[in-house]
Structure formats: C-alpha cells, structure tokens
C-alpha cells in the first residue's frame, strides 16, 4: 500500500510519513535494532533480528506493492525516526478481515506526536484495505502505548499473564486490544 503525509510535531518540526521503499532498507534496519534495544516492550531483541539491510529493502518493497499491508516510515530532518505497519493476520477466508498493528519509535522522538500520527495513518490504511478490525498486543506495563491506543479507540479483549518472558524482567503480561473499523 502507499501512504504519504506531512505533519507538524509538538516541537514545531516537520515529519514525513510515507510507505517504505527499497532505498530505506539500511536505515530502517538500523532503527529497528536501536528501537528494540531501547525498550523491553517489543517482541524481539536486536540479536534476534535476522534481516540483513537487503532483506529489509525487499520487505519494505513487498509491503508497498501489497494491496492490504504497509510499513510506514517516519522521517524527521530526513532521518528515520520510527516505523509502524499493518499485516494481515491470515489469508484464509475466516481470518482475512483481521489485521495486526505494530509500532516502534526512537526514544529521542517520543512525546512529539509521532506515535499518534503513525497509528492514525495505519488505522486509515487498515480501513482503506477493507479490514473489519485492527489488533495488537501490548505489555501491561507499557503505559504510554496503552494510553495512545485507548485514546484512538482500541479496547482490551483479553490478557496473557505470561505472554512474554523478558531477559531482563522475567514474565510480562500481554494485553490484547482491538479496534473495530
Ligand atoms: C508507545 C509509543 C509508540 C508512543 O509514541 P509517541 O510518539 O511517544 O506518542 P505521542 O507523542 O504521539 O503521544 C500520543 C499519546 O500517547 C500517550 N503517551 C505518549 N507518551 C506517554 C507517556 N510518557 N505517558 C503516558 N502516555 C503517553 C498519550 O495518550 C499521548 O496523547 P496526549 O499527547 O494527548 O497525552 C513510543 O513511546 C514507542 O515507540 N515506544 C517504544 C516501542 C513501543 O513500546 N511500541 C509499542 C509496542 S505495543
């Protein structure tokens, strides 16, 4: 899918949100590793990221050519500040109405309105792709993310008390949330 929008951040700077391209592969890979090292709330550790920059480029291009999936890259001052995307839960008929959402922003850009803008962009793309609901899971201690999701209308539909096992903090409870589109 394709998407492009410019927004003004809370610090007055402009951010560009657009679908990823092959040329973004190396930087997106670096930012993926950095965001996953900065927080213990994401699924993978940087050493578990099996994507090379070339594979990341292919992944981004595939998403852009997809009719119902997208990876949106946020640029501030021409540099990648974070990414967010939607992915179909499954291609079988009975699952094709469901999409999953994921987001990661570099710490230096937190609190500027980027998370909200990226999430809204993904919600719009999920609607455009014809999904009936957008889903996510979030670590129960991740107050900032939960607040963002609730603000945009996501509701909790369940919990997994031992959803993640963190190398640092042990078991982490996962909250499952969805947004009806
Ligand atoms: C969670 C995350 C996406 C939020 O992005 P952000 O750009 O900092 O958020 P925004 O500035 O757009 O804020 C939007 C809303 O999020 C919530 N929020 C953001 N930071 C918050 C904080 N420190 N405490 C509480 N709520 C917060 C608020 O509801 C805020 O709305 P408001 O400005 O009206 O109060 C970002 O912190 C991040 O990438 N974290 C690391 C990765 C991660 O946790 N991903 C989610 C995995 S489920």
Tell me what pLDDT residue 127 has: 98
- pLDDT in the model for residue 17: 98
Nearest to 134 by CA among 163, 118, 154: 154
What is the rounded distance in angstroms from the CA atom of residue 72 to the CA atom of residue 118?
A: 7
pLDDT over 70, % of the chain: 100
Instruction: Answer yes or no: is the C-beta of 147 below 6 A from any ligand 1 atom.
Output: yes
CA of 111 to the centre of ligand 1 (A): 6
The domain locations on the chain are 4-180
Helix (H, G, I), strand (E, B) or coil at 62: helix
Each residue's pLDDT tens digit, 91-122: 999 999 999 999 999 999 999 999 999 999 99
Give 26: exposed, middle or buried? Use CB within 10 Å, 0-12, 13-18, 19+: middle
φ, ψ for residue 159, nearest 5 deg: -140, 150
- Give pTM, 2 decimals: 0.98
Mean pLDDT, residues 72-98 taken together = 98
Give me the mean pLDDT over the 60-74 stretch: 98
Average pLDDT along the chain: 98
Task: Quote the pLDDT of residue 73.
Answer: 98
Q: Are strands 79-88 and 170-180 parallel, antiparallel or unpaired?
A: unpaired
Instruction: Band the pLDDT of 134: cuts 50, 70, 90.
Output: very high
CATH architecture of the domain 4-180 equals: 3-Layer(aba) Sandwich (3.40)
State the Cα torsion 87-128-60-20 to the nearest 10°.
-130
Residue having the nearest C-alpha atom to atom 21 of ligand 1: 144
Task: Identify the residue whose C-alpha is closest to ligand 1 atom 8.
Answer: 110
Tens of pLDDT, residue by residue over 14-57, are 999 999 999 999 999 999 999 999 999 999 999 998 899 999 99
In the chain, the percentage of residues whose pLDDT exceeds 90 is: 99
Rg (CA), the chain: 16
pLDDT bin (cut points 50, 70, 90) of residue 62 is: very high
Q: How many helices (H) and strands (E) does the chain have?
A: 4, 8
pLDDT at 75: 98
> Under a CB-based contact definition with an 8 Å cutoff, are residues 114 and 72 in contact?
no
Q: What are phi and psi of 7, to 5 degrees?
A: -130, 160
Pairing mode of beta strands 133-139, 98-105: parallel
Q: What is the pLDDT of residue 96?
A: 97
Say how many Å lie between the CA of residue 40 and the centre of ligand 1: 15
Whole-angstrom Cα distance, residue 61 to residue 126?
Answer: 18
């Amino acid at each position: 899918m394709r998407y492009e929008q410019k927004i003004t951040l809370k610090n007055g700077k402009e951010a560009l949100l657009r679908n990823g391209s092959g040329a973004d592969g190396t930087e997106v890979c670096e930012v993926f590793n950095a965001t996953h090292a900065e927080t213990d709330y994401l699924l993978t550790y940087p050493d578990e990221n099996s994507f090379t920059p070339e594979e990341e480029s292919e992944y981004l291009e595939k998403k852009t050519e997809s009719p119902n999936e997208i990876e949106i890259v946020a640029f501030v001052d021409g540099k990648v500040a974070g990414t967010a995307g939607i992915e179909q839960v499954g291609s079988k008929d009975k699952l094709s109405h469901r999409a999953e959402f994921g987001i990661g922003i570099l710490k230096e850009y937190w609190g500027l309105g980027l998370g909200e803008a990226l999430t809204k962009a993904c919600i719009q793309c999920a609607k455009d792709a014809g999904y009936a609901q957008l889903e996510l899971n979030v670590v129960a201690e991740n107050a900032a993310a939960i607040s963002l999701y609730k603000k945009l209308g996501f509701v909790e539909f369940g919990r997994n008390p031992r959803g993640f096992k963190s190398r640092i903090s042990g078991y982490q409870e996962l909250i499952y949330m969805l947004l009806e589109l």
